[in-house]
A and B are shown apart, each in its own frame.
Chain A
C-alpha cells in the first residue's frame, strides 16, 4: 500500500468509488459475465491444472500398463487414445494456457495498471479454451478420443485410415485452443505495449513481462500454421479436399511442414515464459539485480527468432535433401547459445547474491539441472545420424519430457510457490513445498532417465506392450515406480494448496522483499489492483521507489492510463468495459460452429450467424454511456 499511504484526504472518497466501479460480478449469472483479469486468469490456471491432473492420470495408466512385459491391462485401442489425449492435453490444454494464464494474471500487476487492455476478449478466450477441453474429454468418455498421436500425422489421420470422428475431434480441439491462445497473445502484447506505468520504458520491463511479450509474438506467427493445418485436415476429412492426398497431387509431408512450423515454436512458447519466471525468482531469491539484463532480453528474443528455424529437425527421417538437413542441424545446435547465456547469467546472479533458500529457489535449481540434461540430448538429436538411429524411440520421449517438465513445469511450480500469496492471499507451507520438490525431482528422474537407455536399446514409442525377450521389463518397472513418486509429488502440492487456502493467517503484501510492482498490490489484489497507479524510475521499482503516483483518473469509470510504447510517457486515458454476458455468448456461438462442423458444413454457417448476433450485442453501446459525441446524431 505504499501508493495508498502517500495520497491525501480525497483518498477515502475515491477509494469507495473505485470499489464500486470495479466491483466483481456475483452469483451464477455473474460467473458468466465477469471480465476481471484477476478472476479470469485464476480460472484459467485452475482449469489448466484440472487438465494437468487428468493427463497425469492418463500417464499413470500408461505406466501401469508398461510396468511389466505382455501386460493385458489396457488394449491397443484404448492405449492409443490415452497417449494421444495425454499429449494433446499437456501441450494444448495445459502447457501453453497455463503460461498464458500466469501472464494474464501477473502482467497487469507487474506493469502497474488496473486491467488487461481487452478484458472481454480475455473472458471470451477462456470460454473458448474451456469448450475445447471439455470437447476432448467428452469425446474420450464416449470412446471417441483421438488416437493418432498428438501430431496426428497423415495418412494415419486421413479418413481412409482413421474413419469415425476421433481425428475430427482432435482437429477441432486444436482449433479451439489456438483461437484462445491467439486472443490472449493480442491482449498481452497490447497491454504490455500500451498500459505500462509512466516511466517504465522497455528498458525497465521486468524480465517475466519481456518473456510474455516475446512468447505472445511467437503465438501470433506460429499458431496460424496449425490452424491452417488442422483446417486443411478437417476439410480433407469432411468435404473431400485433397491437401494431403498423394493420389490427387496432395502431399502428406505438407502436413508435417505446417504442423512443425507451429509445433517447434510451441515448445518455446512453453519454455520462454518459464524462463521469465526463473528470472523473477532468481532476482528475489538472490536479492540483487539480474546480472546482464540486456543480454538476458536479447537472448529471449534470439531464442524466439531461432525457434522458427528448427522445425525440420522433427522431419529428419523423411528423406529431405541433405543440404536442408545440415542447415537445420546447425540451427538446432545454435539455439543452445542464447539458452546458455541465460543460464550463466542466472548462475552469476545467484552466486553473487545473498541466496535465500525457499521451495521456489529449489525448483529453479532443479530446473537448471534437468534442463541442462534435456538440452544436451537436444543437441544430440540435432545430429542427423543420431536422430535417425533413435527416431520414434523412448530416447525422444525422455528428451521431450526433460525439456518440457524440466524447462517448464519445474519453473512453473517454482512460480506457483513464489506468487501463491498474490493469487490467494495465503502462503504455501515451506515444509510441504520441500517435500513436493523432493518427490517431483526424484520421481521425475526415476521415470524419465531410464527411458534414454530404453530408447537407445530400441524400444519404440507408442507401443502398448512389449515381450519379455526384449529385456525392457526392468527399466520400465523403474520408470513406472518413478511415475508413482511423481504422482505423490503432485499430490503433496495439492495438499499444500488445499491446506493453505483454508488457513486463516493472511500473507503479507510482499513476503520476499521482491522488486517488482505486483508486490505493491494487496494479496490478493483488489479488483482495481492499485488504488493509485504507480510511476517508475528504475528496473526494480520497489527497491528504488519513485515518490510520484498518478492522479486524475476518473474513479467512477474503469479508466486506465495509456502510455507510449518505448518510453511509457503518459498519452491518454482509456476506458475498459464492465462485466458482460457477450463474451460467453460469442464463445457459445464459436462452439456451435467448431463442434457443428464435425457433423455438417452447415454447422459453420449456423455458428457464423449466431456469432454475428453475439457480436452485435458485444459492440452495442452499453450503459452507462459516457462521453457522448452528439446527443442526436
Chain B
C-alpha cells in the first residue's frame, strides 16, 4: 500500500535488538559516563601515587589479592549465563532466559558477598591516608555498580517469574546483560591496578 505521497511503515517491527534499538544506544552512553568516572578515579590514583614517597604506605596483603581475584573469577564466570540470557532472548525463549538469569544473579550475589569480605578485611581505612582514600574510593565505586547490577538482575527476575512480559521487555533484558558485562569487565583493570600495584608492585 505505498504510493508516491506516503511512506508506509506499518510493516516494520515494534522492537529490534542491538544497535538498532534506542535503549542500546542509551546503555552504551551510560557506560561511557561511568567508564569516564572509573578512568578519572584511576587518574586520581596515579596522581596521588606520585605524591607519596612510600607507595603503598600499607600493602593490602595477599589475602586481599586473593579475594579480589576470586571476585574477578566469579564475575567473569557470570558473563557466560548473561550471554546465554541474551541468546534465549533473541529466540524469545523466556523459560531459558529465566533459568540463565537466575544463575547469573546467584553468581553476582556471590561476588557481592566476597566484596563484603574483601572490604571488611582491608588493613587500612579510607581515612588512614590518601592511599586508603583512593583505594576505598575505587572499591566502593565499583561496589555501587555491583549492587546496582544485582538489583537490576533481581528486578528482571520478578516479571520473568510472574509476568506479564511485553515484547519490548526482551530488549530491556538484552540491555541489562550488556550493562552487566560492563560491571564485570570494569573490575578487571581496577583489580589489576589496585592489587598488582598494591601487593606485588610493578
Contact = CB atoms under 8 A, between A and B. Distances in A.
B4 A548 contact: yes
B153 to A, nearest CB: 13
B44 to A, nearest CB: 7
Contacts of A245: 130
Name B's interface SS.
helix
Interface stretch (A45-53, A202-210, A618-626): A618-626
A542 B16 CA distance: 31
Contact of A551 (B8, B48, B151, B167): B8
Given A241-B133, A619-B155, A571 B166 contact: no
Given A224-B36, A629-B94, A633-B163, A194 B7 contact: no
A42 interface: no
Q: Find the residue from A225, A250, A626, A631 having the highest chain B CB count within 10 A.
A: A250
B6 A548 contact: yes
11 contacts: A189-B29, A224-B33, A243-B44, A248-B130, A258-B40, A258-B44, A547-B5, A573-B14, A619-B172, A625-B164, A627-B168
Nearest to A261: B40
A225 B38 CA distance: 10
Q: Find the residue from B11, B29, B30, B134 having the highest chain A CB count within 10 A.
A: B29
A427 to B, nearest CB: 32
A198 B36 CA distance: 33
A337 interface: no
A302 B16 CA distance: 33
B139 to A, nearest CB: 13
Contacts of B11: 552
A228 B40 contact: yes
Interface in A234-266: 235-236, 239-243, 245-246, 248-251, 254, 257-258, 261
A612 B37 CA distance: 22
Contacts of B52: 249
Contacts of B51: 246, 249-251
- 8 A-B pairs closest in CB distance: A552-B10, A249-B130, A241-B133, A240-B127, A224-B36, A552-B9, A627-B167, A242-B130
Nearest to A228: B40
Interface in A135-157: none
Contacts of B57: 249
B170 A629 contact: yes
Contacts of B34: 224
B22 interface: yes
Contact of A621 (B25, B30, B131, B164): B164
Contact of A550 (B7, B33, B37, B94): B7
Contacts of A185: 29
Interface in A206-225: 220-221, 223-225
Given A254-B47, A565-B19, A625-B164, 9 more contacts: A118-B26, A195-B22, A224-B36, A228-B44, A241-B132, A254-B48, A548-B6, A621-B166, A629-B167
Q: Find the residue from B7, B25, B130 having the highest chain A CB count within 10 A.
A: B7
B134 A243 contact: yes
B47 A220 contact: no
A242 to B, nearest CB: 4
Nearest to A222: B36
B197 interface: no
Interface of A: 6-7, 117-118, 182, 185-186, 189-191, 193-195, 198, 220-221, 223-225, 227-228, 232, 235-236, 239-243, 245-246, 248-251, 254, 257-258, 261, 535, 547-553, 559, 561-562, 564-565, 570-575, 608, 612, 615-616, 619, 621, 625-633
A198 B7 contact: yes
B92 interface: yes
A251 B47 contact: yes
A574 B22 contact: yes
Given A225-B40, A249-B48, A254-B47, A572 B12 contact: yes
B129 A249 contact: yes
A239 B7 contact: no
Interface string B90-131: 001011000000000000000000000000000000111111
B90 to A, nearest CB: 13
Interface of B: 4-16, 19-22, 25-26, 29-30, 32-34, 36-37, 40-41, 44, 47-48, 51-52, 57, 92, 94-95, 126-134, 136-137, 147, 151, 155, 159-160, 163-170, 172
A190 B6 contact: no
A221 B36 contact: yes
A630 B165 contact: yes
Contacts of A559: 14
B91 to A, nearest CB: 12
A243 B9 contact: no
Given A239-B126, A551-B8, A562 B36 contact: no
Given A194-B22, A251-B51, A628-B165, A232 B14 contact: no
Contact of B151 (A190, A612, A633): A612
B165 A633 contact: yes
B127 A626 contact: no
B16 A552 contact: no
Given A245-B130, A628-B164, A630-B165, A251 B30 contact: no
Given A186-B29, A251-B51, A621-B169, A548 B7 contact: yes
Contacts of B13: 572-573
A548 B30 CA distance: 36
A535 B9 CA distance: 12
A182 B33 contact: yes
Contact of B16 (A195, A221, A571, A627): A571
A550 B41 CA distance: 48
A575 B44 CA distance: 42
A240 B126 contact: yes
Nearest to B47: A254
B9 A550 contact: yes
Given A549-B6, A629-B165, A621 B134 contact: no
Given A248-B130, A574-B22, A228 B167 contact: no
A186 B30 contact: yes
Contacts of A632: 163
Contacts of B40: 224-225, 228, 258, 261
B33 A547 contact: no
A236 B7 CA distance: 59
